[in-house]
Amino acid sequence: MKKPRGVHDILPGEVERWQHLEGVIRELTRVYGYREIRTPVFEFTELFQRGVGEETDIVAKEMYSFPDRRGRSLSLRPEGTAPVVRAFIENNLHTWPQPVKLYYTGPMFRYDRPQAWRYRQFHQFGVEVFGSADPAVDAEVIALLMEFYERIGLKELTLEINSVGCAECRADLTGALRNYFTSRLKELCRDCRARLGRNPLRLLDCKEEKCRGLAREAPVPLQFLCSRCEAHFQAVLKELETLNIGYAINPCLVRGLDYYTGTAFEVTVLDAGAQNALGGGGRYDNLVETCGGRPTPGVGFAVGLERTLYALEQQGVKLPGAASLEAFVATAGEVAAAKLSGVLRLLREAGIAADRDYTGRGLKGQLKQAHRRSARWVVILGDEELSRGNMAVRDMDTGEQAELPETELVRWLRTRQSKTDVLVKDY
């Protein structure tokens, strides 16, 4: 049996890297005051059609949608914001102290052509803040994102930022974009020709080289911002400067989702080719209302974790590998074998990662196994030592050996455990 294309197994050895990212995410969101939300991996298709937008690539081309047994259309979530918005409305989170600051991590699903950096099941970490239109919240979300990258050790990042304006700003912009691109119709790619009627803003963001050239000369949202959007944008930039966060204004940045209003941002990593976006987000002040809730401003981001790990690897950043076994308990003789489970339990209860052989190996085989498992200590229960009421213990790092009674074992290991502790805490 083979797995479908575009999905991955994450095996022990690699999973520690994921756990490390997850640890950073948990700690970072804690200090910023965000609480975790877990939503289902499938929702009614309509949520994404309304929330993400029927015209977006994600919804139009990339959703895993299927009828359930009663014929209702369900979809595997292609992104996390619409489900969190649905949960916010459905669970009346507007009654909680505002703003409500949430984060999530989990798998997303998009039926895209699998290629480097693009998978059909991938994982995102995202945050969403509801209930405040303060530009300081936009800046906080961006600060959290940049601190995430900093804490995991990723470098050579560019934060691009833009404002796509509100509905009021867009009325004039849309007309201007249509005029401009209609006059250059022949030079556009097929997708852009199709988008022009429905969503001309998206033409600014096309990845095709010829369209990018045209986009550079096109009218852009910044030229059409109303005074409120302009003030908001300037306030976000000022706050970023206060926080010492470098940014580049990219007037063509609009992002692929329809729900953004005002601030839009994206983080890219140098030298990663076309799929170099690591994460991005923005403000979506109309989304809660669009999805059936009362008007509630919102802002958030999503980060692709596979791409983040890949970028870390490319930059040679070392992440913690598997934590090795601490103690391997080996036995020689029948009296010893009867004592084994008691000693193991003692160690495990004391918080020492301990294991044993289960395949009937002789003492030599067990010691070999301890070495293969990189055990720091080997505890040997031999009939001879046991007849003196003792057991043997050997520190594989230092070569130190001792013969001790069972009552001394945990203390002996603990006094030497500090080195292992530091290794674990170091990351």
Q: Which residues bind ligand AMP (CB under 6 A)?
A: 79, 110, 112, 117-119, 122, 124, 256, 277-280, 302, 304, 306-307
Query: Which residue's CB is nearer to ligand AMP, number 79 or number 385?
Result: 79
Q: Indicate the DSSP class of residue 275.
A: T
Query: Which residue's CB is nearer to ligand AMP, number 202 or number 307?
Result: 307
Which residue is closest to ligand AMP by CB?
304
CA distance 261 to 86: 18
CA distance 274 to 281: 18
Diameter over CA atoms, the chain: 96
Closest distance to ligand AMP from the beta carbon of 359 (Å) = 40
Closest distance to ligand AMP from the beta carbon of 37 (Å) = 17
CA distance 30 to 45: 32
Closest distance to ligand AMP from the beta carbon of 260 (Å) = 10
Task: Sort strands 121-130 and 298-304 into parallel, antiparallel or unpaired.
Answer: antiparallel
CA distance 383 to 108: 56
Closest distance to ligand AMP from the beta carbon of 418 (Å) = 39
Closest distance to ligand AMP from the beta carbon of 116 (Å) = 10
Secondary structure E strands in 190-323: 248-249, 263-269, 277-283, 298-304
Query: Which residue's CB is nearer to ligand AMP, number 79 or number 140?
Result: 79
Query: Which residue's CB is nearer to ligand AMP, number 309 or number 381?
Result: 309
Q: CB-based burial of residue 183 (10 Å sphere; 0-12 exposed, 13-18 middle, 19+ buried)?
A: exposed
Query: Which residue's CB is nearer to ligand AMP, number 118 or number 361?
Result: 118
Query: Which residue's CB is nearer to ligand AMP, number 287 or number 375?
Result: 287
Query: Which residue's CB is nearer to ligand AMP, number 115 or number 374?
Result: 115
Closest distance to ligand AMP from the beta carbon of 148 (Å) = 12
Query: Which residue's CB is nearer to ligand AMP, number 48 or number 181?
Result: 48
Tokens of 109: 């699903």
CA distance 333 to 249: 73
Tokens of 31: 């200090």
In the sheet with 157-163, reading across from the earlier edge strand, the strands are 35-36, 100-109, 121-130, 298-304, 277-283, 263-269, 157-163, 248-249
Closest distance to ligand AMP from the beta carbon of 86 (Å) = 16
Contact 28, 147 (CB under 8 A): yes
Closest distance to ligand AMP from the beta carbon of 280 (Å) = 5
Contact 207, 274 (CB under 8 A): yes
Kindly list the distances between the CA atom of residue 362 and the CA atoms of 331, 336, 340, in Å, as whole numbers in the listed order.
8, 13, 14
Query: Which residue's CB is nearer to ligand AMP, number 287 or number 378?
Result: 287
Residues 6+ apart with CB under 8 A from 248: 158, 159, 160, 161
Closest distance to ligand AMP from the beta carbon of 34 (Å) = 18
